[in-house]
Amino acid sequence: MKSKLLASIMLIILNVSGGIGCAEAADFPSRPITLIMPFGAGNAPDTLARIIGEYFQKKHGITLLITSKAGGSGIPAMLEVAKARPDGYTISLTSANVVTVVPQVKPCGFTYQDFTCIAQTSLFTMGWGVLASSGIRSVDDLMQKAKEHPKKYSVGSPGALTAQRFFHMSLMKYFPDSDLPYVAYNGGGELVTALLGGHIQVAYTPVSNFAPHGDMIKIIAVSGSKRDPKLPDVPTFAELYDENLVFDSVYGIVGPKNIPAERVEILQNLFKEALEDPEVREKLDNVFISYNYLPSKEFGDVLKQYNDFFAEPIKQYLKNNK
């Protein structure tokens, strides 16, 4: 009798617990979501996050608390995300570069496998921008000037040991006599300010970061596999020098490892819905931000491909810099 009574009590407890779990999933999100970015405020990812945040608030009453934590090659920000409670209330809009390239360069307490992939949001065209008033007409022209005037020219980009740095190293093999050192900045906003102020002569960043400055900045090349439809007259590094000189900046949403699958699906669908909204797309088009949605699993596959692609160049770099 006692055993039957105990069994009945346990069944009730399990049913109640299951009901609570379902209720929590159905109510998610019931409070603000913190979105941490390993970049400075005012750059392309920040703009993307704020446009999506406006949609979430207007359409669903969901608040995105957007926090920019630049510096340290993105490590401090992503460590905070990795260590957060895996309940879906702390997520990050980050780049594939931060979670795949940086951990291979130096130990930082995480790899891309320590995060829950939620959704890919965009694929930014990366480009080299110079001041229109500089007189630099092309990459070849820049490299010739850098050869003739040592210590006068430099290229800047966010992050000290990032995919941009390794791309720059690969490109400079074609110009061994040109003096064009790499300078690291904390984010796109700081980088473009440095370019406009004449502290660097070239900025390497998503071309959307150049858009607010109109004709003041001239884009001399992009590093995508093909020309950007919005910049049809700007050549790619691949067509100029080597078909392997390709780098697009992939961005997406991740969270701590082990976020419940039902919450991942809810978040994934929210971002998909936002990126398919005509008003959101118009706003993104106006600032040269491309939307490129992929769901959780596919985004995870992209991160693995990204990780594997840079593995060999990074090993070579570390070997040569022991």
SS (H, E, C) the chain: CHHHHHHHHHHHHHHHHHHHHHHHHHHCCCCCEEEEECCCCCCHHHHHHHHHHHHHHHHHCCCEEEEECCCHHHHHHHHHHHCCCCCCCEEEEEEHHHHHHHHHHCCCCCCHHHEEEEEEEEEECEEEEEEHHHCCCCHHHHHHHHHHCCCCCCEEEECCCCHHHHHHHHHHCCCCCCCCCEEEECCHHHHHHHHHCCCCCEEEEEHHHCHHHHHHEEEEEECCCCCCCCCCCCCEHHHHCCCCCCCCEEEEEEEECCCCHHHHHHHHHHHHHHHHCHHHHHHHHHCCCCEEEEEHHHHHHHHHHHHHHHHHHHHHHHHHCC
Residue 18: band (very low, low, confident or very high) from pLDDT cuts 50, 70, 90: very low
Tens of pLDDT along 96-133? 989 999 999 988 999 999 999 999 999 888 999 999 99
Task: Give the closest residue to 38 by CA, choosing from 108, 113, 119, 140.
Answer: 108
- 197 pLDDT higher than 60: yes
Mean model confidence pLDDT for the chain: 89
For residue 26, what pLDDT is reported?
A: 64
Residue 132 is predicted with a pLDDT of: 97
The reply to whether domains 31-124+249-320 and 126-240 share a CATH topology is yes
> How confident is the model over 41-55, as a mean pLDDT?
91
Q: How far apart are CA 147 and CA 126, in angstroms?
A: 24
Task: Give the residue, 11 or 163, on which the prediction is more confident.
Answer: 163
Residue 321: what pLDDT?
80
Q: Residue 3: what pLDDT?
A: 45
According to CATH, the superfamily of the domain at 31-124+249-320 is Bordetella uptake gene, domain 1 (3.40.190.150)
Q: Which two tokens stand for residue 307?
A: 């990780």
CB atoms within 10 A of CB 287: 14
pTM of the prediction? 0.75
Domain boundaries, the chain: 31-124+249-320, 126-240
- Return the pLDDT at 289: 83
pLDDT band for 29, please (50, 70, 90 cuts): very high
Is the pLDDT at 259 greater than 60? The verdict is yes
Sheet holding 115-124, edge to edge: 64-68, 33-37, 90-95, 249-256, 115-124, 291-295
pLDDT number for residue 25 = 54
Percent of the chain with pLDDT strictly greater than 90: 66
At 287, the amino acid letter reads V
Pairing of the two strands 126-131 and 202-206: antiparallel
Q: Out of 3.40.50.1450, 3.40.190.10, 3.40.50.410, 3.40.50.300, select the CATH number for domain 126-240.
A: 3.40.190.10
- The answer to whether residues 122 and 288 touch, using CB atoms and an 8 Å cutoff, is no
Band (pLDDT 50/70/90 cuts) for residue 282 is: very high
Q: Is the pLDDT of residue 4 over 80?
A: no
